[in-house]
Amino acid sequence: MKKLLFSNFLLLISYFSIAHPGIGIVKDKSGNIYYTDLKYVWKLLPGGKKEIVVIDVLTCKLFMDKRDNL
């Protein structure tokens, strides 16, 4: 029984330790592009300048609504 519980525990840990990329690169009406590296949400301006818009948040999915809310 203990061996089975330990095996299930290891399986659970390995499941949560598998990293996956962020998805949902989005563009607002002004031409700014937003993407994530799983630690920050970045904004790429049309001129090529990058800036961080959300700091220290595990963000896996991004989307933009009709009002340009990220």
The full set of domain ranges for the chain reads 20-70
Place of tokens 């818009």: 53
Q: What is the pLDDT along the chain (70 residues), one digit of tens a residue?
A: 444 444 555 455 545 545 566 677 899 999 999 998 888 899 999 999 999 999 887 777 888 899 999 8
Contact (CB, 8 A) for 56 and 39? yes
String of DSSP letters for 6-46 = HHHHHHHHHHHH-----B--EE-TTS-EEEE-SS-EEEE-T
- Contacts (Cβ under 8 Å, ≥6 apart) of 18: none
pTM attached to this predicted model? 0.66
